[in-house]
Each structure stands twice: as C-alpha cells, then as structure tokens.
Amino acid sequence: MSEEQAVLVDVADGVMTITLNRGKAKNAVNKAMAEGVAAAMDELDSNDDIRVGIITGADNTFCAGMDLKAFVTGELPMLPGRGFCGFVEAPPKKPLIAAVEGFALAGGLEVMISCDLIVAADNAKFGIPEVKRGLAAAAGGLVRLPKQVPPRLAMEMALTGDFIDSAKASEIGLINRVVPAGTALEGAKALAATISANGPLAVKLSKQVIVESGDWTADNMWANQQDIVNPVFTSEDAIEGATAFAEKRAPNWKGK
C-alpha cells in the first residue's frame, strides 16, 4: 500500500485533519503510514496557516496498533527520532487532537495519548493488550499513560491487557469529551475551531509550558515559564487581542 493511500491529509479553516486510512487492516500502522504521518506533522508545524491538527481513523475505527503481519516480516512502523507512527516520540509543537471511533488499542492507544486532547465516541474501547501477544506497550503505554491516569490503573491496563470503555476513560481523565458514536471527528473539529480562534503564539507557547513543566521543580518553574511565555506579552498579537476586545471585534492574529 502506498504512502498516499495509508494516510489522507486535509486542511480547511486552519485545521489539518490526518486520517489513518488502512480501514481493512483496522488502521494498523505500517512503515508507509508512519512516513505519511511524519510528513503531515512536519507540515502542521511549518505552515503558519495551520493552527491545529486532528488525527483520526477511517472506517469507524481509530487504530488497532502495529501491523503485526508487517512486523513478523521484519518491518517496523517507526522512524528514527520520531518513534512509532512517525511522531509519538516527537509530537508536534502545535495542538493535536485525537478523534476516536471504535478501537484505540495497543499502538493505537499510544498514538491517541501522544495527542494533547481526545474526543471519543461513546462506544469506543481503549487498551494496551500487548502482553497478550508477548509484547510490551513500548510506544508510550508504559511511560506516558501513567502520567495521564492514576498509575495503578495504568499498571492494571498494562499487566492485564484488558480494555476500558469511554465511560471509564472519561472517569479517569484519559479523554476530554465523549460524543455520540459517529460524531468524534465532528466533535474534534468543533474543539479545534475554538482553539484556532485564539492567538496562535499564545496557544503554542501555552502548550509548551504544560508539556515541559512536568519535569520542573518548585525552584525553577516560574523562571522556566517566563523564559517561554515572555514573547507572548511583547507580541503584536497581545496588542491586537487587547485592541480587538476594546473595539468589540474579532482579533486579526498574526502569530507574532
């Protein structure tokens, strides 16, 4: 399957939608898909006209993980410096939303938790069942998931391989929004529209602080934050935002 078929990319109204497009294989990730996603992430970060990214799956499922048929032939769906699916070790600097229908399992869940926000259908299922295949959830399930949900629950998911549903995922804070089945992408686009209406520099640097501050201490967190966000307060967008508020109009952001 060619790279173009494995990943579909659409840009509209400042939002990039990346679709994992191997529906017959439950959108399992092979090398072509990893390469396609990596190229899309590069475009997301480098194109100033794009404010937010969404990643979703074709045919009413998100992603069933690594393509095991390709794996047994020696093909790995990873790229140097980027990891599984071309981005889990190097997520984009701009916001990325997962729109989840159906199953987000194994590497699929690891793709999902590499995103900043998650909108999921009410019938979606989540899990890291790698242990059931003699494998380990090494694309984020063992190191990223325990930082997003209570560690004991992450431990249970990792050691049992059992699935959880959207209600449980919402209860433990794994996902942001639960929507009716078939509307996850619609819900993600609504969330993306809200984000893209805000100052792009402020959004990007706010994400950076939240992502990086997990490793900061009480002694350095304020200084580290100021180093990152200072450009926001001296930006053209800050003046524009205040002016637009006073003039009761929508801001005309420049991203600088």
List, for the chain, all residue ranges whose pLDDT scores fall below the cut of 70: 1-4
Domain of 237, CATH number, reads: 1.10.12
- Quote the domain boundaries for residue 231: 200-246
In sequence order, what E strands does the chain have?
7-12, 15-20, 52-57, 78-79, 83-84, 96-100, 103-105, 117-121, 125-127, 164-165, 177-179
On whether residue 225 sits in a domain, the answer given is: yes
Contact, 196 vs 14, CB < 8 A?
A: yes
CB burial of 186-211 (b: ≥16 within 10 Å; e: otherwise) equals ebbbebbeebbebbbbbbbbbbebee
- Point out the catalytic residue in the list 89, 110, 171, 240: 110
Residues 146 and 227 in one domain: no
Quickly tell me which residue has 């060619």 as its tokens.
2
Tell me, yes or no, if the pTM score tops 0.75. yes
pLDDT, tens digit, 9 for 90 and up, residues 49-64? 999 999 999 999 999 9
Based on the residue annotation, tell me whether 110 is a catalytic residue of this protein: yes
Residues 18 and 82 in one domain: yes
Based on the residue annotation, tell me whether 171 is a catalytic residue of this protein: no
Residues 218 and 103 in one domain: no
pLDDT computed for residue 4 by the predictor? 53
Q: Give the sheet arrangement for strand 125-127, strand by strand.
A: 103-105, 125-127, 164-165
On whether residue 256 sits in a domain, the answer given is: no
Amino acid in the structure at residue 166: S
Residues 116 and 137 in one domain: yes
223 CB-side CA count, 13 A: 5
- Point out the catalytic residue in the list 4, 35, 130, 212: 130
Domain of 119, CATH number, reads: 3.90.226.10
Burial class (CB in 10 A: 0-12, 13-18, 19+), 40: buried
pLDDT, tens digit, 9 for 90 and up, residues 217-240? 999 999 999 999 999 999 999 999
pLDDT, tens digit, 9 for 90 and up, residues 183-226? 999 999 999 999 999 999 999 999 999 999 999 999 999 999 99
User: Coil, helix or strand for 166?
Assistant: helix
Domain count, the chain: 2
Structure tokens at 57: 């799956």
On whether residue 228 sits in a domain, the answer given is: yes
